[in-house]
Amino acid sequence: MMTNNQPFRVAIIGTGRPQNADGSTGFGMAHAHAKGYNEAGCEIVALCDLVAERAEAFNQENAGGKATVYTDYTQMLAETKPDIVSVCTWPAHHAPMVLACAEANVRAVHCEKPMAPNYADSLAMANACRANGIQLTFNHQRRFNGPFAAAHRLIKAGAIGDVIRIESSCGNFFDWGTHWINMFLFFNNESPAQWVLAQTDARRPNTVFGAAMETQGVAVIKFENGVYATLYVGEESQQIVDCAIRVHGKNGVLEILWNAPWLRYKTGEIGAWQLVPDAEVADGIHGDDANTAGVLDVVDALHTGRTPLCSVDNALPTTEIIFAAYESARRRGRVDMPLQTGDNAFTALLAEGVYPEAVA
């Protein structure tokens, strides 16, 4: 994990507080990032947070007190010139921070997901880093969780035959849906989407990490290889699809469940559910070790020159599908890919007041 026999120098933007700590407003992702960098033998040289005391506490816990603390990330980038930057802030801040990293010509950026609150900013980040030869990743860490990794291996090995369709349920398109749509790509050989047809409702709108979310929604996606996927989100979604993700193949079906035993599959020849060994899925679908594994993969990819598993190459298509779903709801029709609009159609619809409020 070295360059010129020296450890990669790492900076982290957005240290926050650990998950469930007093005053915490998120999952403390920066702490999982730091664990990965320390395990990879990197040197955490700089930390940036709006609250210096918070960054200093993080420094003592995760960097042995050796990192320089900043409250201005542009100053940090100019003075420390890190090799790798982790961006662990809310989605609205991702684009300006990643673009600043691209301008500073760092070697790699590992950013939390979702990419950004609109497609234009997401595309700008991807283009800027590609233009400067910067390795850009977004932490769709479930590619490393045991149930999803095992499901991917089974599908690749032909356990259920060629994939025909995928169906799933989760809380929303943007924050949670970015994971599930990314899994559609993971399980479907990264085939691009051909079109998206969707609808949303927002009679009880809410926000997650500052981004507006729908109350309910459904999206049908056709991929270029002929596979279809349906994602139900929000209220009552789990009554429609009673597992996290179900993958139908020509010879069988595979299910990732909400609780243990986490992963099962069956084929026409077997006829009964087969459970994947506990050792392969012990971390479940939310295990925090996946975040650390994602950082280890980022570092190894930078060291070897291979494409990282959470590359922008699959994060951007994931994000394009999300905003195509919102655009379909605005148009009340199908959206053919590539997506031609750069805004967030859902927030535009909210601003127009098109969603009726629930009757008390």
| Domain annotation covers residue 357 | no
Strands 193-201 and 335-336 turn out to be: antiparallel
Q: Are 92 and 189 contained in the same domain?
A: no
| pLDDT at position 205 | 74
Together in a domain, 65 and 123: yes
Q: Are residues 110 and 209 in the same domain?
A: no
pLDDT of residue 253: 97
Are 85 and 190 contained in the same domain?
no
Residue 358: inside a domain, yes or no?
no
pLDDT at 359: 46
Question: Residue 66 maps to which CATH number?
Answer: 3.40.50.720
Same domain assignment for residues 148 and 250: yes
At 110, list the tokens.
């590992």
User: Quick one: pLDDT at residue 25?
Assistant: 54
In a domain, 359, yes or no: no
Q: Which tokens belong to 184?
A: 């559609």
Nearest to 170 by CA among 208, 203, 206, 217: 217
Number of domains into which the chain is organized? 2
For tokens 């990330």, what's the residue?
73
Please tell me the pTM assigned to this model: 0.95
Bridge partners, 275 (sequence order):
264
First CA to last CA distance, the chain: 58
Structure tokens that stand for 129 in this block: 């880093």
List, for the chain, all residue ranges whose pLDDT scores fall below the cut of 50. 1-3, 20, 24, 359-360
* Residue 360 falls inside a structural domain: no
Please report the sign of the dihedral spanned by the C-alpha atoms of residue 59, residue 62, residue 68, residue 69: negative
Single out the residue of 73, 78, 75, 69 nearest to residue 94, CA to CA: 73
Same domain, 253 and 326: yes
Q: DSSP string spanning 271-329?
A: -S-EEPPHHHHTTTTT-THHHHHHHHHHHHHHHH-PPPTTBHHHHHHHHHHHHHHHHHH
Is residue 150 in a domain? yes
Whether 127 and 244 share a structural domain: no
Instruction: Give the range of the structural domain holding residue 90, as residue numbers without chain letter.
Output: 2-141+289-310
Q: Examine the domain organization and report whether 22 and 73 are in the same domain.
A: yes
110 with 153, same domain?
no
DSSP 196-255: EEEEEE-SS-EEETTEEE-SEEEEEEEETTS-EEEEEEETTHHHHS-SSEEEEESSEEEE
In a domain? residue 356: no
Beta bridge partners of residue 9, listed in sequence order: 43
| Whether residue 13 sits in one domain with residue 134 | yes
Do residues 321 and 270 share a domain? Answer: yes
Asked if 132 and 226 sit in the same domain, the reply is no
The rounded radius of gyration (Å) of the Cα atoms in the chain is 21
- Contacts (Cβ under 8 Å, ≥6 apart) of 20: none
CATH number of the structural domain spanning residue 171: 3.30.360.10
Q: Looking at residue 357, what is its pLDDT?
A: 75
154 in any annotated domain: yes
- Residue 18's pLDDT is 58
Distance CA 221, CA 232 (A): 12
Please report the pLDDT score of residue 3 as a whole number: 45
In a domain, 247, yes or no: yes
